[in-house]
Every structure is written in structure tokens, then in C-alpha cells.
Amino acid sequence: DSGVTQTPKHLITATGQRVTLRCSPRSGDLSVYWYQQSLDQGLQFLIQYYNGEERAKGNILERFSAQQFPDLHSELNLSSLELGDSALYFCASSADGTGGTEAFFGQGTRLTVV
Amino acid sequence: EDQVTQSPEALRLQEGESSSLNCSYTVSGLRGLFWYRQDPGKGPEFLFTLYSAGEEKEKERLKATLTKKESFLHITAPKPEDSATYLCAFYSGGGADGLTFGKGTHLIIQP
């Protein structure tokens, strides 16, 4: 158990809908990262938050957004969903704000868009 | 463009048969090379971080090494429970603070 908690584990929704994925980082970790994993693209970095503020952006679509709350949990919002958004979404956390320290991953949310 | 390539894509070994997985990278300024293990339907599990060429780290049957262009994950006398996908990733700190992952090596250890 990595100590990172993601909910829900599975989500099935229709095209055009909006969903919210939730992540609780390990106790004491200030950074939260979101990744998308699909069969053809592998693990892709989406966005990072550090202590409540956006720190870095990767390959995140404009239809996607995230935030980190004062209690350090984070939410990833996906809107106007398309079939191609079906993937595993992982949250990871690390102690500091640099990407050079080990990050610990949650078990992921499997999103299926139908 | 910074990138990472893992080989082979898949590897099937007999229990006890040692081998190595390769991770080749092209990055302008490497600030960390990471190895993760991922079981089906689960999140990646952290194994090692290497920071400079010549560095080595070991954990049970696994040993990771780093050169200026490659990293190897050596598996000695593997057991069936070592079956998983092994992911290599780098951190360059060049703007996006996330890791850049390879596609992984799918390892199967047969009893």
C-alpha cells in the first residue's frame, strides 16, 4: 500500500459528460501529480500541484482541470468527455515540489467513456 | 526531443534464469532516472532512483545501473512473483515537473 488513495476505482460515463476524480496524497506529502495511462500512449504526465498551487503542466487537455485543496487532497475534473479519454488515471504524491524525488502512486481510477 | 526507450517490449524467462532490461534515454539534462514495477490494474510501485552515471542500487533480486545513455535493470535468479511490467522514467526538470515514462518491459517468469 503506497498510502495514496484514489476514488472511485471505476467510472463508466457517457460521451459529453463531466466527471471528477479524487486523490488523497500520502501523509506529509505536499506534491500531487496526475498521470493518464492508455494502451497506446503509456503513462503521460498531466499536471502537478504543490501545496495548493499549480506547479507544472504536461500533456493536459483544455477540457481537463485540476485543483489541490487546503487539506492537500486533489481533484481532477474531466469535461466534455470523448471515447478517447477512456484510460487509467493515476495520482502520485511526493514529499517536495521537485520531480527528482520518488513519487508514490495510487491504485488509479479506470475511466470508461461509452 | 527528450525521450526514453525500453527494450525488449516483452521477455519470458524460466524461473532462476537471470537477465537484464534496458532503458535508453536521450535527455538534455538528466536529474533522475527512475525504475517502477507495475502489476496489471495497479499503480506503479517505486523501485529505484539513480542520479549519476556509475551509480548502482540493489533490492532483493533486482539491481539497477546507470550510464550516460542507458540504465539497466538486472534480475538475478527471478521467481514467478517478479512477473510484472517494469517501467523506466526520467526527470529532466525542464519545465514540466513530471516524469517521462517509457512504454515498459512486460516480464513473465515461468515456474
Contact check, Cβ <8 Å, A99/B44 = no
Q: What is the mean pLDDT of chain B?
A: 93
Whether residue A96 contacts residue A30, with contact meaning beta carbons closer than 8 Å, is answered with yes
Closest-CA residue to A102 (of A113, A110, A93)? A93
- CB-CB neighbours of B69 under 10 Å: 12
Whether residue B14 contacts residue B110, with contact meaning beta carbons closer than 8 Å, is answered with yes
Whether residue A59 contacts residue A51, with contact meaning beta carbons closer than 8 Å, is answered with no
Please tell me which of the candidates A58, A98, A107 has its beta carbon nearest to residue B43.
Answer: A107
How much is the pLDDT for A96?
Answer: 78
Separation of alpha carbons A113 and A16, rounded Å: 9
Separation of alpha carbons B19 and B27, rounded Å: 26
Whether residue B27 contacts residue B88, with contact meaning beta carbons closer than 8 Å, is answered with no
Residue to substitute from A2, A10, A43, A44, interface B, most B β-carbons within 10 A: A43
Chain A nearest-CA residue for B102: A42
The residue type of A29 is: D
Does the pLDDT value for residue A102 go beyond 90? no
Please tell me which of the candidates A4, A43, A48 has its beta carbon nearest to residue B87.
Answer: A43
Q: For strand A10-13 and strand A109-113, is the pairing parallel, antiparallel, or unpaired?
A: parallel
Q: What is the mean pLDDT of chain A?
A: 94
- Per-residue b or e along B15-43, where b marks 16 or more CB atoms closer than 10 Å to that residue's CB: eeeebebebebebeebebbbbbbbeeebb
A42-97: per-residue pLDDT in tens? 899 999 999 999 998 998 999 999 999 999 999 999 999 999 999 999 999 998 77
- Residue with the larger pLDDT of the pair B111 and A99: B111
B86-95: per-residue pLDDT in tens? 999 998 876 5
List of chain B residues with pLDDT < 50: none
Total residues belonging to chain B:
111
